[in-house]
Amino acid sequence: MVRTPLTSEQRDRGRALGRILRAARGPRSAAAVAAEAGISLDTLRKIERGAIAAPAFFTVAALARVLDLDLAALARDLEPSDESRLAG
């Protein structure tokens, strides 16, 4: 199965997600957060640096739970702006 390449907007959104998660993690170690969320440290690191631009929903939900982030607010923060929707 061939996967459709991500758009630049999707890659930008993935990087933004990574920045939000890194900031929410604060001084906690990535290893501790990954373990508590039930994901691998490698996966968390890839998400935080934007290498996984569209992580699985349940992965994001687990990270949001561990980092005490509201999932709906996170989704709103990552929505494309009205300007980028009109341009696309």
Mean pLDDT of 62-82: 91
- The string of pLDDT tens digits covering residues 11-50 is 999 999 999 999 999 999 999 999 999 999 999 999 999 9
Number of independent structural domains in the chain:
1
Rounded Cα distance between 70 and 65, Å, is: 8
The token pair at 49 is: 């640096």
**Containing structural domain, residue 37:** 8-87
3 within domain boundaries:
no
47 within domain boundaries:
yes
1 within domain boundaries:
no
Q: Which CATH number is 77's domain given? A: 1.10.260.40
pLDDT band of residue 86 (cuts 50, 70, 90) is very low
